[in-house]
Chain A
Amino acid sequence: MEDLTDVYNELIMEHSMNSYNKRKLEDADYSEVGHNPNCGDEITLEIKMNGDVIEDMAFTGHGCAISQASTSIMIDTLKGKTINEAKEIIKIFIDMIKRETTNEEELKKLEDAIAFRNVSNMPARVKCALLAWHTIEDILNKKVG
């Protein structure tokens, strides 16, 4: 990797160390634990729905800067989206990290989450960036429907 600040940029650092999304959600509808057994990172995602719309989301847990920031920024990005919109954004994010899309129009839909683009150059950290996104994918597929 050329420059570390491509990954550890200001936005990611702020979210990883001081996230306002790291809290308990009162009256959550769904909760799911995401875990990377190799590194011990563990997050609990909580979601409150309003019909078809993700009304609120929060997380607790611990992990590296990339997993923590990725969770926090994901929450910012997906809050207020419908289930279908969220599923589309999740797919774009996973494709971006796995280098399966470079379509700039699509990537714009990620909003701040595009900050993780360069994690695709750090294969050892791909799992950290994807932890929260796989966790919410599970919730939306299995529970919310």
Chain B
Amino acid sequence: MNVEEIRKDFPIFANRDIAYLDNGATTQKPIQVINAVKEFYEKYNANPHRGAYTLSLEATEKYENARTKVAKFINAKHREEIIFSKNATESLNLIAYSYGMEGLKSGDEVTLSIMEHHSNLVPWQKITKATGSKLNYMYINDEFEIPEEEIKKKITNKTKIVGITHVSNSLGTKNDIKKIIKYAHKMGAIVIVDGSQSIPHMKIDVQELDADFFVFSGHKMLSPLGIGALYGKKALLEKMTPFLMGGDMIEYVYEQDTTFAEVPYKFEAGTQNVEGAVGLDAAIDYIENIGYDKIQEIEQDVVSYAREELSKLDFLSLYLTPNKENHSSVISFNIKGIHPHDVASILDTEGVCVRSGNHCTQPLMRYLKIDSTCRASFYFYNTKEDVDRLVKALNKAYDMFKKYIKE
């Protein structure tokens, strides 16, 4: 399949004349995913896990099949290790409250990277304050990467939890999480990997990585909004207490006490987002049908081209590792002297969709001594023409502003 054929699967490109470069925020959806959701409501809709009638059993089957699909997709050992959530943020909050709040004590340390999204950072501020433990950060070097000595300095025998994003949503830096996990385990810490920006682009094998927890959002990998997943090693999940209480996550409920269901159900309170799970199932099929090899081939072609073309614009500041092998599909930049929101507005008039702002990484921005950036993030349906449109629009923005820019 070539890119032209792939793009035909995405109805939005027939309806909107845009260069969609905000895939780090959310991806567009192929017709196969849209149809799977539609088919669910037309043929299978009922409340799963509750009814004794055929329709409810079939809805349950659809939902549980999606769990099995996700488990195989990331090579989890057991299907019960997959918990459905709203998104990566909810998955990370679940871990922070259920694992962190009960497992941490005074003197313990939690180590994050400075490039974490607020969703893997703000919960840890609350948990470390509440438990009297300490929050540490691994900082980046001038190549926007975490140096090995920083990992060894910040992960110590006091560290109980390491939170690390697989790929930075602001910089596109790909962290060597396998190495970090191995070292953290040696020091006696567990590792939570935020895979939101990696799983859309690369094959994930949680057993090979030996990740203790791995979270992601479905909507950044072709699924509907509002469905995400949490992988956790079964032994850890079994020890954890539930995060949300309510229907379907219980065993026996008495007036004063309750016993809880087994994993994964004890973490899935209330009626779940079955259409989302069904959509995620279809999205995984779509990705596997194209194949990660092909996805990487297309993306490397377009992202390399973007790196080259953007590097030629001397009015741009790029926040980009020079090491291509450590870079994924996100490029952050600024036009010197022009605020990124103005740049994004001008790009918008040329049909170029980029994100501008702090990308939910304020501590990273502060560390880099900037307020915000523009961010172009790519997926396998992007083309070199999209890059050309971006470059043309950037030239337009610079031309409009240059006579006013103070030296």
Q: Which residues of A contact B (CB under 8 A)?
A: 1, 4, 7-8, 13-14, 16-18, 38-41, 62-66, 122, 124-125, 128
| A62–B371 touching, CB < 8 Å | yes
Given B340, B342, B372, B405, which contacts A66 in the complex, CB threshold below 8 Å? B342
| B342–A65 touching, CB < 8 Å | yes
| B349–A8 touching, CB < 8 Å | no
Residue B328 at the A interface, CB < 8 A? Answer: no
| B372–A124 touching, CB < 8 Å | no
| A125–B341 touching, CB < 8 Å | yes
Residue B368 at the A interface, CB < 8 A? Answer: no
Chain A residues, CB < 8 A from B371: 40, 62
| B341–A18 touching, CB < 8 Å | no
Residue B400 at the A interface, CB < 8 A? Answer: yes
| C-alpha gap A41/B356 in the complex (Å) | 12
27 contacts between A and B (CB under 8 A): A4-B345, A4-B346, A4-B349, A13-B401, A14-B404, A16-B404, A17-B401, A18-B404, A39-B341, A39-B356, A39-B357, A39-B372, A40-B358, A40-B365, A40-B371, A40-B372, A41-B341, A62-B371, A64-B339, A64-B340, A65-B339, A65-B342, A66-B342, A124-B345, A124-B348, A125-B341, A128-B341
Residue B406 at the A interface, CB < 8 A? Answer: yes
Nearest-CB residue, chain B, relative to A15 = B404
| A1–B342 touching, CB < 8 Å | no
Given B339, B346, B349, B404, which contacts A63 in the complex, CB threshold below 8 Å? B339
Nearest-CB residue, chain B, relative to A10 = B404
Chain B residues, CB < 8 A from A1: 349
Nearest-CB residue, chain A, relative to B343 = A64
Nearest-neighbour CB distance to chain B for A2, whole angstroms, equals: 9
| C-alpha gap A17/B362 in the complex (Å) | 25
Chain A's interface: helix, strand, loop or mixed, by majority? mixed
| A17–B342 touching, CB < 8 Å | no
Given B341, B348, B362, B406, which contacts A64 in the complex, CB threshold below 8 Å? B341
| C-alpha gap A41/B339 in the complex (Å) | 10
Number of A-B contacts (CB under 8 A): 51
Nearest-CB residue, chain A, relative to B339 = A64
Chain B residues, CB < 8 A from A17: 401, 404-406
Q: A38 with B406: in contact, given A63-B339, A64-B341 (CB under 8 Å)?
A: no
| C-alpha gap A38/B362 in the complex (Å) | 10
Q: Which residues of B contact A (CB under 8 A)?
A: 338-342, 345-346, 348-349, 356-358, 362, 365, 371-372, 400-401, 404-406
Chain A residues, CB < 8 A from B341: 39, 41, 64, 66, 125, 128
Chain B residues, CB < 8 A from A7: 345
| C-alpha gap A56/B176 in the complex (Å) | 55
Given A13, A40, A62, A122, which contacts B357 in the complex, CB threshold below 8 Å? A40
Chain A residues, CB < 8 A from B356: 39
Chain B residues, CB < 8 A from A38: 357
Chain A residues, CB < 8 A from B372: 39-40
Nearest-CB residue, chain B, relative to A7 = B345
Nearest-neighbour CB distance to chain A for B374, whole angstroms, equals: 12
| B339–A8 touching, CB < 8 Å | no
| B400–A8 touching, CB < 8 Å | yes
| C-alpha gap A35/B357 in the complex (Å) | 13
Nearest-neighbour CB distance to chain B for A14, whole angstroms, equals: 7
Chain A residues, CB < 8 A from B346: 4, 8
Given B342, B357, B358, which contacts A8 in the complex, CB threshold below 8 Å? B342
| C-alpha gap A55/B346 in the complex (Å) | 37
| B400–A4 touching, CB < 8 Å | yes
| C-alpha gap A17/B403 in the complex (Å) | 10
Return the 10 tightest CB-CB contacts between A and B, nearest first: A64-B339, A17-B404, A64-B341, A40-B371, A65-B342, A13-B404, A64-B342, A40-B372, A39-B357, A40-B358
Q: A125 with B357: in contact, given A13-B404, A16-B404, A39-B372 (CB under 8 Å)?
A: no
| C-alpha gap A7/B349 in the complex (Å) | 12
| C-alpha gap A125/B365 in the complex (Å) | 22
Nearest-neighbour CB distance to chain B for A33, whole angstroms, equals: 15
Nearest-neighbour CB distance to chain B for A130, whole angstroms, equals: 14
Other A-B contacts than A4-B349, A62-B371, A65-B339, 10 sampled, CB-CB below 8 A, are A4-B345, A8-B346, A8-B401, A18-B404, A38-B357, A39-B358, A40-B371, A40-B372, A64-B342, A65-B342
Chain B residues, CB < 8 A from A14: 404
| C-alpha gap A18/B354 in the complex (Å) | 27
Chain B residues, CB < 8 A from A39: 341, 356-358, 372
